[in-house]
Amino acid sequence: MTQPPISNLALMMAAKQEWQRVQTLFTKCFIALIRWMDINLLILAIINQLGVLVGGIAIATILENKDKVYMAPFSKVTIKNIALFLLLILASCRWFKDAATPFLMGDYMRLPQGTPTFQQGYKDGCGTSLYTRGNVFYRTIHKINYNPKLIDNPEYRFGYSRGYTTCFQIVVGGASGPQASFDAYLNYGTTFDMSGGGNINNLWGGFFSNGIMQGDVTNSNVNLDSVVNIWQNAERGGGTVFGSNPIWAGGSAGQFFGQ
């Protein structure tokens, strides 16, 4: 039994269908890419790619027309060196591969390298902490994630722990504005300039004078000293537990324990 001949029209129709299928696939891939990539870095990556393209065209144009334009200052060796130099610079650009690390769109978090299980744990931990300590925006786009099936996997647990901790620090600092909780104890705003000028009260930009080693939890100047101040003056200026600050004597000589 012989097969009927395939007409040109049928071939064209098949080719057209195949092309449409490729187009659809490309569109889907592109949409998926947009959804999963950090849009900011995508734009940066496109700019970089365009930069590479324009730079390449410019170099090629110069090399092709070097006989027609005034090229006296540039010998062949110089042009080659410039081309090599540009190549080395461009090779360090951020390429799609780096920019397309899929993680959480709209965030600054990057997924670290590691095994897929570790990365899954990292993503889950990060999303969870963003939900817990983020604002309304974060709570809208994230939720708690923990895969019970991977609870015995040490890589997953390690990734979860690292992701939770890392993103916790980011979201508490970034989305919270001025520190207003007990986290303020960790918000060391003092500049450590080490220029005390012989007086400990001026050391590290007033670290011990008006920096985090001073203040009271009952007023707006919440700082590290507040921790021990609780022992000294009870909670809100109540009775004294110790005769003085148990750690910090506060003198200009910088005595500790009253010495």
Pick between residue 50 and residue 151 the one whose CB is nearest to another protein. Answer: 151
Instruction: Count Cβ atoms within 10 A of the Cβ of residue 102 and give its class: 0-12 exposed, 13-18 middle, 19 or more buried.
Output: middle
Token pair for 86: 């540009």
- Count CB-CB contacts under 10 A for residue 207: 22
Check if the beta carbon of residue 248 is closer than 8 Å to that of residue 213.
Answer: yes
221 binds another protein per the rule CB under 8 A: no
Contact with another protein (CB under 8 A): which of 48, 49, 218, 232? 218
Cβ at position 66, least distance to another protein in Å: 50
Q: Does position 157 bind another protein by CB under 8 A?
A: yes
From 103, 118, 122, 168, residue interacting with another protein (rule: CB under 8 A): 168
Neighbours of 184 (CB within 10 A): 19
CB–CB of 240/233 below 8 Å? Answer: yes
Distances (CA, A) of 212 to 60, 194, 242, 250: 60, 15, 21, 13
Among residues 171, 201, 200, 180, the alpha carbon closest in space to that of 104 is found at 171
Asked whether 208 and 254 are in contact (CB, 8 A), the reply is yes
* 118 sits near another protein (criterion: CB under 8 A): no
Quote the least distance from Cβ 197 to another protein, whole Å.
34
| Minimum CB distance to another protein smaller for 212 or for 222 | 222
- For the CB of residue 98, give the shortest distance to another protein in the complex, in Å: 24
Task: Look up residue 48 and give its amino acid.
Answer: N
Question: Which x/- pattern over 78-117 shows residues binding another protein (rule: CB under 8 A)?
Answer: ----------------------------------------
Question: From the list 176, 187, 190, 210, which residue makes contact with another protein (rule: CB under 8 A)?
Answer: 176
Q: Is 18 one of the binding residues for another protein (CB under 8 A)?
A: no
CB of 228 to another protein, least distance (A): 14
Pick from 118, 131, 207, 208 the residue near another protein by CB under 8 A: 131
> What whole-number distance in Å separates Cα of residue 27 and Cα of residue 57?
28
Q: Does 180 bind another protein (CB under 8 A)?
A: yes
Both structure tokens of 160: 């979860």
Binding site residues, another protein, CB under 8 A: 128-129, 131-139, 143-149, 151-152, 157, 160, 164, 168, 174-178, 180-182, 217-218, 222, 230, 235
